């Protein structure tokens, strides 16, 4: 066995002359155990929330959304549409167009987004399952209707059951015609949807023909929403079509709602950083333990130097002892984290306050998190062990060994 490692193991597990050193070493290992377990559990809980939220079906988003790479709209490509129809992996598609619009209900005005969709939209996105009131109707008896987000409806103080007052929709013309600077259309809200997302506060959805006429962009699309079969991989479909249509961007459901998940991911690593800083404080016990061992064993180091042991080897001996303490702490910490995760997944003993869709904190273990935590603990341990190791390497061979 490598001699510095053998000595480090002997100093760690061997009997010390002072009980205080044993106590401080035990406290150091206990702190590393708690710290490493806490880091794994923190990351695993955030993983659980991320999996839960990404797995929820937001009815506003389709499995894949196709948008122009540049600009707001493109002409509808008949070749692409035909290919989507014959692709067995795609169950349906909906052609949509959207842009900013001004909505006015009685005396209240609000800027939002008018989205024109075809009849397949509710089947592709299943937005009809998110209706709070009314029906998913784009037209009724020749009257133009639509569905509005709950947040936008509240801002406009709109009465959904009031059929006499329409929602006036205005779109600005880029090229005014005969003194007219905007297009206007009365749309009667037929329903209110709620998806618990930003769409609730911005969108009014009506038929494609009405929206394309208001925007003066007939035969163009802002997006094509795709519904993918359950046994198909959206990521693979995205790769296949991006190679054929480089002028188009294909976004999976995750990518369409990535801002919220990105914020959750940022919070995850901020929490990890805070816990790591706490682990740095715990590492001071490690420094104290090693420092006392260096003082106790300085005669041993003097003897080792007198028989040809180099400064570098003494430095490595103390450093490796610190890393061995980190290893013991990691093994115990990882074991506790595994037991905690299994108990939480099976029993759910740490509950969430009432009112949420789940009763206990979700947790999901990932091998990558264990690797990250191990690197973090070893890095902190190496930095904490370096100072006592440097002190030990400077002990003179002339120290009185009697």
pLDDT of residue 1: 47
Q: Closest Cα to residue 114, out of 205, 25, 9?
A: 205
The winner for highest mean pLDDT among 265-279, 326-340, 377-391 is 326-340
E strand or H helix that includes residue 221: strand 220-221
Mean pLDDT across the stretch 224-249?
91
Instruction: Write down the pLDDT at residue 388.
Output: 81
Which of 74, 73, 136, 65 shows the shortest CA–CA distance to 94? 65
Contact 381, 325 (CB under 8 A): yes
pLDDT in tens, 289-329: 777 777 776 676 677 667 667 777 778 887 888 888 889 98
Buried b (16+ CB within 10 A) or exposed e, 209-230: ebbbebbebeebbbbbbbbbee
SS3 string of 33-79?
Answer: HHHHHHHHHHHHHHHHHHHHHHHCCCCCCCCEEEEECCCCCEECCHH
Question: What per-residue confidence (pLDDT) applies to 400?
Answer: 55
Specify the range with the lowest mean pLDDT, choosing from 7-11, 34-38, 82-86: 7-11
- Please report which confidence band the pLDDT of residue 259 belongs to, taking 50, 70 and 90 as the band edges: low
Enumerate the β-bridge partners of residue 104: 109, 168
And the tokens for 93? 């598609």
Buried/exposed 100-125: b ≥16 CB within 10 Å, e otherwise: ebbbebeeeebebbbbbbbebbbebb
CB 273: neighbour CB atoms within 10 A? 11
pLDDT of 179 reads 65
Over residues 124-135, mean pLDDT:
85
Handedness of CA 171, 175, 178, 181 (dihedral sign): positive
- Spell out the domain ranges in the chain: 3-56+260-393, 64-253
- With a cut of 70, say whether residue 398 has pLDDT above it: no
Whether residue 354 is predicted with pLDDT greater than 60 in this model: the reply is no
d(C-alpha 78, C-alpha 215), whole Å: 21
Determine the Cα–Cα distance for residues 117 and 120; give it in Å rounded to an integer. 8
Q: What is the pLDDT of residue 360?
A: 75
Distance CA 13, CA 23 (A): 13
Q: What is the pLDDT of residue 269?
A: 84
**pLDDT per residue as tens digits for the range 137-163:** 888 888 899 999 999 999 998 887 666
182-185 CB contacts, 8 Å cutoff, 24+ apart: 182/102, 183/213, 183/214, 183/215, 183/216, 185/144, 185/210, 185/213, 185/214
pLDDT at position 357 is 52
Whether residue 103 is predicted with pLDDT greater than 90 in this model: the reply is: yes
Q: What is the pLDDT of residues 3-15, one digit of tens each?
A: 666 666 666 666 5
- pLDDT computed for residue 254 by the predictor: 75
Q: Average pLDDT, whole number, for the chain?
A: 83
| pLDDT tens string 168-186 | 999 988 777 666 788 999 9
* Partner residues linked to 256 by β-bridges: none
Residue with the bigger pLDDT between 317 and 234: it is: 234
Cβ-in-10-Å burial (0-12, 13-18, 19+) of 236 comes to exposed
Other beta carbons within 10 Å of 182: 13
- What mean pLDDT is predicted for residues 367-386? 89
Burial zone of 245 (CB within 10 Å; 0-12 exposed, 13-18 middle, 19+ buried): middle
SS3 158: coil
21 or 198: whose pLDDT is higher? 198
């Amino acid at each position: 066995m490598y001699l510095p490692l053998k000595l480090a193991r002997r100093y760690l597990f061997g009997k010390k002359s002072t009980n205080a050193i044993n106590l401080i070493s035990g406290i150091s290992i206990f702190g590393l155990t708690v710290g490493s377990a806490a880091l794994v559990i923190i990351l695993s809980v955030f993983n659980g929330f991320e999996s839960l939220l990404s797995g929820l079906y937001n009815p506003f988003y389709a499995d894949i959304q196709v948008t122009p790479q540049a600009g707001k709209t493109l002409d509808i490509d008949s070749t692409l549409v035909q290919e989507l129809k014959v692709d067995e992996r795609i169950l349906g598609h909906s052609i949509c167009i959207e842009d900013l619009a001004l909505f006015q209900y009685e005396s209240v005005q609000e800027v939002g987004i008018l989205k024109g969709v075809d009849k397949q939209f509710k089947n592709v996105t299943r937005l009809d399952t998110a209706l709070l009131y009314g029906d998913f109707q784009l037209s009724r008896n020749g009257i133009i209707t639509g569905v509005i987000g709950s947040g936008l409806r509240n801002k406009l103080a709109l009465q959904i059951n009031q059929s006499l007052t329409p929602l006036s929709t205005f779109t600005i013309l880029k090229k005014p015609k005969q003194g007219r600077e905007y297009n206007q259309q009365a749309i009667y809200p037929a329903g209110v949807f709620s998806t618990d997302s930003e769409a609730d506060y911005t969108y009014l959805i009506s038929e494609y023909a009405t929206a394309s006429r208001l925007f003066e962009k007939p035969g163009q699309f802002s997006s094509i929403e795709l519904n993918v079969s359950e046994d198909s991989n959206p990521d693979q479909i995205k790769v296949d079509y991006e190679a054929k249509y480089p002028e188009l961007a294909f976004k999976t459901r995750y990518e369409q709602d990535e801002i919220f998940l990105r914020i959750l991911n940022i919070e995850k690593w901020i929490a990890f950083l805070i816990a790591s800083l706490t682990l740095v404080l715990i590492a001071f016990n490690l420094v104290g333990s090693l420092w006392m061992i260096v003082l106790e064993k300085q005669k041993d180091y003097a003897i080792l130097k007198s028989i040809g042991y180099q400064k570098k080897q003494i430095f490595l001996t103390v450093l490796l002892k610190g890393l061995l303490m980190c290893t013991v702490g990691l093994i115990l910490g990882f074991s506790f984290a595994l037991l905690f995760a299994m108990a939480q997944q099976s029993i759910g003993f740490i509950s969430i306050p009432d009112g949420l869709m789940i009763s206990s904190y979700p947790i999901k273990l990932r091998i990558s998190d264990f690797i990250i935590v191990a690197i973090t603990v070893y890095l902190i341990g190496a930095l904490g062990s370096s100072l006592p190791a440097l002190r030990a390497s400077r002990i003179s061979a002339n120290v009185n060994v009697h």
